[in-house]
Chain A
Amino acid sequence: MTARVFGVVLFVCMCLLATAAGAHPMDTQNAAFVQGVDGPAPAPFMYLGAKHMVTGYDHLLFLVGVIFFLYRLKDVVLYVSLFTLGHSVTLLVGVLWGVEVNAYVIDAIIGLSVCYKAFENMGGFNRIFGWRPDAKVAVLVFGLFHGLGLATKLQEFTVTTNGLVANILSFNVGVEIGQVLALTAVLIGITFWRTRPSFTRHAFMTNSVLMIGGFILTAQQLFGYVFYP
């Protein structure tokens, strides 16, 4: 195993260990703020949305998987737009209609979405089943689940109906800003790496590590679902 692969494995494992807590640190101070809000507060909600995305490792791992083999900017924009469309719809509808799904179940599905994407990147579906799910549809569907997760998280804090729509929209805009920031960083890294021969050599290994990350997230959420309902 070369030093670089070892570095990647170590980095991903450290990230996971550091944040496995639930992948979404919305610390008590932020929670107290959200609960105290009465009326529209665009900037704070945008900040919380962006923070959620940049520090939410399950979203980030999924996006790494999605753009791993996308090298045309057009494709990156297309896939990310589908993902954004998916999670925006369920975030808005979810909060407005008061849809609350068990957060553990949603986060377990999000963990599995990482596994799915990694397995697809490894060529797993083609080689084993001779068929692969339409990647665009899959990204859209998992986008819907990610949004449901966001909606559930946002509702865990009693958000007042006063200024609710403005605050969800602000949160959503923040999520997109955070996503663009995180994606840019990931894209720069992968694009740079792709110009080197090691990319091809270690793509399989990297996606295997991504899959490990997805399974750890899934296991943690399922454990929480069973023992801490």
Chain B
Amino acid sequence: MTKIVDSDQVERVSIKKLILAAFAAVLIAVLVFVGAVLPAEYGVDPLGTGEALGLLALAQVVAITAEDGEYRTDTFELRLAPSEWVEYTYRLQEGEAMVYTWFATSSVEYNFHSAPDGAPPGYAESFDSAASETANGSYVAPFTGIHGWYWENPGTEELIITLSTAGFYRDAHVARDRADGYRDLMDARGNLISEGSR
């Protein structure tokens, strides 16, 4: 270390220079704040600089995501005997959304999970796991693959689950230990789409 300096020795600054610097600091701060921070953070643009520099876009809240996929709805009743399970999944591309609600006649164990395309068999990422009589939510697929519920009846009596969803999924697949297959879905006009389109 060559020479040690502290605030008293930095420069023998004149009072004039100090006051000038302080006023300049306030002035520049106000200019930057009004010209850049206000438009970028609050969408307020008194000088028009936000428009000119494209900063206004930063303040815009993205509330709508346009979807390319077809709109589908699905309502489904599932009967589960004691100890029986079912797996019900939708095919969604990454970023595609759905809203869902389901309720059961008694408490059921469930697990909402997703498996990306190409994942090894049995691999799944779990997002919500609990025992409940109902659950509602919205879901945006974090990756392309299948996304849905595993339900299991922990009780000693049969229960019924009623599921309603709407979203941009391609198909719906039911798997239970006795059978599995694709279900028909409803399009935006209320017509049945019988595909099982893989």
- Chain A positions near chain B (C-beta within 8 angstroms): 13, 16-17, 20-21, 69, 71, 115, 118-124, 126-128, 191, 194-195, 199-200, 203-204, 208, 211-216, 218-220, 223, 227-228
Contacts and interface: CB of A to CB of B under 8 A. Distances in A.
Contact of B21 (A21, A71, A122, A195): A122
Contacts of B29: 211-216, 218-219
B77 to A, nearest CB: 31
B179 interface: no
The 6 tightest CB contacts between A and B, nearest first, are A215-B29, A211-B25, A219-B33, A69-B6, A203-B10, A216-B29
B191 to A, nearest CB: 37
Given A13-B32, A194-B1, A200-B3, A208 B21 contact: yes
Contacts, number: 95
B37 A220 contact: yes
Contact of B13 (A127, A194, A213, A227): A127
Interface in B15-47: 15, 17-19, 21-22, 24-26, 28-30, 32-33, 36-38, 40-42
B interface bracket (residues with beta carbon within 8 Å of A)? 20 to 34
Nearest to B10: A203
A216 B38 CA distance: 10
A118 B28 CA distance: 15
A203 B6 CA distance: 10
Contact of A123 (B8, B36, B37, B42): B8
B40 A123 contact: no
A215 B25 contact: yes
B26 A71 contact: no
A195 B40 CA distance: 39
Nearest to A68: B7
Nearest to B6: A69
B4 interface: yes
Contact of B18 (A17, A123, A200): A123
A219 B22 contact: no
B10 A20 contact: no
Contacts of B42: 223, 227-228
